[in-house]
Amino acid sequence: MTTTHADPEEVAACAKEPSVEIDKLDHDEKEEEKIADIEEDEEEEEEEEEEEEEEDDDDDEDFVLSNAKKRKAPKSKAKSPAKKAVKKHTPAKTKKPAAKPKAIRAPKKTPGGNPKDNIINGLLELANFNIVDASRVHTALLAGYKNPRSDGFAKALKALESEGKIALTKNSVRVTDKGKQSVPPVPPTKDNIEALERLKKIMKMVCGKKGPKSDLICDFLGDGQAHSLKSVAMACGYTNVRSEGLTSVLTTLTDLKLLDKDAGSFMLADIAFPHGRSGGTVTSESE
């Protein structure tokens, strides 16, 4: 019987084959373990990231809540330096000017002196021209009253009547002897020149602003002559014979019975010349 010897290399190779397979298995297991470890690490990392995100969200919520509390918190009384600085540099408020005191209206002007004496004196001035019964309007104007219907004038007339110093009718006023004695006497005029000056004064008081040229008209008619309306107007500077100023003066002279009219001509009446007329009778002038 023959004995065969195995090839040593084959034996070695056969011996090695099982170890190779084992090594492969070990390698595969290690690879799987590594993969598992990597997956576990990734899962852990993901979990950690999620936890960090949750923590960040919590921090954000806490930050928002803290800010809200700060806004709601009451302001401290202490002023910040910035505000103080602003306050120092703000211009001081200008004081409003004091309100002007309301203007006190002056009382209505009343005739100077004793109103009752003024009435008596005015009536005595008219008496110098033989005007005994004066109208209430003329009496008031000569006494210095601007309004003949004023309460002051009415009260003065009533008082004088109760004292027996004047006699009143519906349209006229007459001074009594008792009234004449109650005031200093009015001296009579010395001549027609003085009489004309007193007449101009009377006309000025009675006509007022409505007859600014009453002096000129009286001077022109003071010659005692008759004049047409046109000549009176032209001599006194009126371009219109119907001018209010001219008409007012002539009407007042007529009401006082100091003007005579005839055939469109005008001249002062005889009573305007207490010392005798210097002119002639009324004559017509061509217009």
Write the pLDDT tens digit of every residue in 123-152.
Answer: 999 998 999 999 999 999 999 998 999 999
- DSSP code of 110? -
Query: Over 50: is that where the pLDDT of 11 sits?
Result: no
Q: So what's the pLDDT on residue 77?
A: 52
Question: What secondary structure, in 3-state letters, does 111-155 show?
Answer: CCCCHHHHHHHHHHHHHCCCCCCEEHHHHHHHCCCCCCCCHHHHH
SS3 category, 279:
coil
285 band by pLDDT with thresholds 50, 70 and 90: very low
pLDDT of residue 65: 52
281 residue type, one letter: T
Name the band, by pLDDT with cuts 50, 70 and 90, for residue 106: very low
Rounded to an integer, what distance in angstroms lies between the CA atom of residue 136 and that of residue 251?
Answer: 16
Q: How confident is the model at residue 113 (pLDDT cuts 50, 70, 90)?
A: confident
User: Parallel, antiparallel, or unpaired for β 166-168 and 172-175?
Assistant: antiparallel
3-state secondary structure of 166: strand
* Residue-level pLDDT at 186: 86
pLDDT at 246: 94
Instruction: For the chain, give the mean pLDDT.
Output: 76
Residue 240: exposed, middle, or buried by beta-carbon count in 10 A (0-12, 13-18, 19+)? exposed
For the beta sheet containing 265-268, the strands, ordered from the edge strand earlier in sequence to the opposite edge, are 227-228, 265-268, 259-262
Query: Structure tokens of 46?
Result: 């993901």
Please give the model's pTM, rounded to 2 decimal places.
Answer: 0.57
- Residue 70 clears pLDDT 80, i.e. is over it: no
Encode pLDDT of 37-54 as tens digits: 555 655 666 666 666 665
Q: Is the pLDDT at 102 greater than 80, yes or no?
A: no
> Of the ranges 31-40, 174-183, 271-280, which one carries the lowest mean pLDDT score?
31-40
Residue 281: per-residue pLDDT: 41
